[in-house]
């Protein structure tokens, strides 16, 4: 059953948001139909960790776009503050922020569970990865003092796309797993007949197995 109130759950349809951004008014997820998007919140404009994060996301923006994935920022700040901060980043760091930033009054933050009780009005560092059908696929929350690793979100989007295309699972640290490198995991057998055939297929060279429940291949 689809979860409909409070913080969205993995597998839910992403909540409908009609928002003001630095690129004008947008309807999310509707305006991004057919695309992946990563929506990330930051505690506030003109703060040091958030500034480094925006630069980091922008420097990888072309890589996200190659994956048919857009970026969307958000904080509980007025659009004027966002615009001035983006101008400051350009003037002082020579980085153009090309993705939109949502100017939230607190409504979106409440819908997505971005404000921790007792922590003031600043949003936490949350990340939502949403697929082309508008379904929430991954969600990560960080405390205010912890800057994010932008390469991890690229990895998440790439991993979902490979998983869906080939019907496989991804090992830890893919594509640089300590045991398998960039190989992927074949979902384990769920009955004895399939388990036996799995090993027969491995012996025939279709893929490799440590055992019937841990088989892997190159894609």
Domain with residue 91: its CATH number is 3.40.30.10
End-of-domain residue from the set 120, 148, 176? 148
CATH for 190: 3.30.1020.10
Residues 214, 210: Cα–Cα separation, whole Å: 6
The answer to whether 171 and 185 are in contact (CB under 8 A) is: yes
The number of folded domains in the chain is: 2
Query: Active-site residue among 50, 69, 209, 215?
Result: 50
Is 50 exceeded by the pLDDT of residue 163? Answer: yes
Strand partners, 103: 20, 75
Helix (H) or strand (E) holding 210: strand 208-211
Same domain (yes/no): 180, 216: yes
**pLDDT, tens only, 109-160:** 889 988 766 656 677 889 999 999 999 999 999 888 889 999 999 999 999 9
Q: Are strands 17-21 and 24-28 parallel, antiparallel or unpaired?
A: antiparallel
Encoding tokens for residue 173? Answer: 């640290």
Range of the structural domain that residue 202 is part of: 167-219
Q: Is residue 103 part of a domain?
A: yes
Same domain (yes/no): 44, 127: yes
Known catalytic membership, residue 215: no
Tell me the three state secondary structure of residue 154: helix
Return the higher-pLDDT residue of 21 and 146. Answer: 21
Residues 70, 93: Cα–Cα separation, whole Å: 22
Q: Is residue 99 part of a domain?
A: yes
Q: Which of 119, 93, 123 is nearest to 109 (CA)?
A: 123
């Amino acid at each position: 059953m689809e979860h409909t109130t409070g913080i969205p759950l993995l597998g839910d349809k992403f909540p409908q948001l009609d928002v003001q951004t630095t690129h004008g008014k947008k309807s999310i997820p509707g305006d991004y139909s057919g695309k992946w998007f990563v929506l990330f919140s930051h505690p506030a404009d003109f703060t040091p960790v958030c500034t480094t994060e925006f630069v980091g996301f922008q420097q990888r923006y072309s890589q996200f776009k190659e994956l048919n994935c857009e970026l969307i920022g958000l904080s509980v700040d007025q659009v004027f503050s966002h615009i001035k901060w983006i101008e400051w980043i350009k003037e002082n760091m020579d980085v153009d922020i090309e993705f939109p930033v949502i100017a939230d009054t607190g409504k979106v933050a409440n819908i997505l569970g971005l404000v921790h009780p007792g922590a003031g009005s600043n949003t936490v560092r949350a990340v939502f990865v949403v697929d082309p059908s508008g379904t929430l696929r991954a969600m990560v929350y960080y405390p205010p003092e912890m800057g994010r690793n932008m390469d991890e979100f690229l990895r998440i989007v790439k991993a979902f796309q490979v998983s869906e295309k080939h019907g496989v699972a991804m090992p830890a640290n893919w594509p640089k797993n300590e045991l398998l490198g960039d190989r992927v995991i074949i979902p384990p057998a769920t009955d004895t007949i399939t388990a036996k055939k799995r090993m027969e297929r491995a012996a025939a060279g279709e893929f490799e197995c440590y055992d019937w429940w841990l088989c892997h291949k190159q894609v």
